[in-house]
Structure 1
Amino acid sequence: MMENKPDEPVDHLSQLPVLRLNLHELAREQRTEQGQLALRDLTRLLSALVAGHAAVQTGQVDWRVRGYTHAQPGGDVQPMIELKVSAVLPLLCQRCLQPALQRVQDKVLFRLVEQEPGLTQEELEAEDEALCVRVAVDIQAMVEDQMLLALPLVPMHEVCPQPIVVAGLEAQPIDLPARASPFAALASLKKGK
């Protein structure tokens, strides 16, 4: 039996079971799978979060994958997958540079296809995404990918908890010299006719 010594780091990622789902089977059986993933286990997502924040250690991503089929014109059946993800993430507010807990949610529809479609205008405008999978999919990687895509471009508090102070700026507004209106000059030209 192997014991961990107190000064040796424990690689908890290697101890996690890999959750794989056959998405074609899920769609054919019109089944739903759901679960939670610990934020600390999503290493790519961690790089976008505030390091050391308590929510990183205790937070979770809720996910739900629903399989179903969609009838196509001509009688064909299209396998579909709906993925929903949701989490409260500690992001860095870009206004005050303090941690901001933000709920990030996303829902995406995937159309399961046998081969990658060509990039046509119709494909670009489609509400669903084409997903070419032939083997079981690692759900943790799929959920983490979707969370990364759902991150806000510029995370901010609704109202920052502390006033924003910029060093070097004075508290009093600066008096600017009055400028003549360009329309006043036009009016004087019009009167001179």
Structure 2
Amino acid sequence: MKPRAFVPEKLDLAAFIHDGASLAGEWPAASLERLAESAAPDAPAQGWPALHWRLQGETRPVKGGKAQAWLQVTAQVEVALTCQRCLKPVHEHVDIGRWIRFVDTEAEAAALDADSDDDVLAMPRHLDARELIEDEVLLALPLVPRHEVCPEPLIHVDDADEPAGEEGEGERPNPFAALAALKRGGSA
């Protein structure tokens, strides 16, 4: 029997898992629109290496019950995000390795997902694996990207505002002293 051909953008997930099939490939990072939007302005996604991905379907037998449908999703990509300290590009390696269990209905998925550490989703008729992989990569991006040590020294705002005059000049009044004076009934 000839093995089935599976297309990642319109994956017959039930058949893919039943067959224990696997797919692998790579996509240009710029072709993943939502991921490309996260790029640092100085390092657009067109310059990033390709995203490498792999899917593996698996059926796990359960004693006295229906076999469980699982999908392993792995992906690796190098992205350039904006450092939140210096605002320069910071390169981050994102490595995804996740198992997702698929069940028959949304209600069953919601009940199992609440009680389990595993990711549980309802079995779709067709799955857009490209969208699923992009979702997983976006979820794995750091919330606050930043360099361990920024490539250029940071300029402190107070340092930039102060004139290079004599010492003692430019000292600002303590705002809390003014508040204390107001509380005592005096003027600031």
| TM-score normalized with structure 2 length | 0.72
Match of 1:94 in 2: 84
Q: Does residue 165 of the first structure (1) align with residue 151 of the second (2)? A: no
Q: Does the 8 Å CA contact 1:67/1:81 hold for their aligned counterparts?
A: yes
Q: Report deviation, 1:54.
A: 5.3
Contiguous gaps of at least 5 residues in structure 2: 1-6, 163-170, 172-188
Q: Does residue 24 of the first structure (1) align with residue 14 of the second (2)? A: yes
Q: Report deviation, 1:133.
A: 2.8
Identity %: 29
Report the aligned-residue RMSD.
Answer: 2.6
Q: Does residue 43 of the first structure (1) align with residue 43 of the second (2)? A: no
Give the structure with the larger helix fraction. Answer: 2
Separation (CA, whole Å) in 2 of partners of 1:31 and 1:114: 20
Separation (CA, whole Å) in 2 of partners of 1:150 and 1:99: 18
Give the number of equivalent residue pairs. 156
Output one character per residue of 1:127-173: Cα deviation in whole Å (capped at 9) or x when no partner.
32222233221121111111111111111112211121213237xxx
Contiguous gaps of at least 5 residues in structure 1: 1-16, 175-193
Map 1:107-122 → 2, pairs under 5 A: 107-116=97-106, 117=108, 119-120=110-111
Separation (CA, whole Å) in 1 of partners of 2:115 and 2:98: 14
Q: Does the 8 Å CA contact 1:65/1:81 hold for their aligned counterparts?
A: yes
Letter in 2 for 1:84: T
- SS, match of residue 105 in structure 1: strand
Assess, with a 3 A threshold, how the Cα gap between structure 1 residues 93 and 52 changes in structure 2: closer, same or farther: closer
- SS, match of residue 143 in structure 1: helix
Match of 2:116 in 1: 126
Assess, with a 3 A threshold, how the Cα gap between structure 1 residues 119 and 28 changes in structure 2: closer, same or farther: closer
Output one character per residue of 1:86-118: Cα deviation in whole Å (capped at 9) or x when no partner.
100011111211101110112221111110126
Match of 1:147 among 137, 141, 144: 137
- SS, match of residue 165 in structure 1: coil
| TM-score normalized with structure 1 length | 0.71
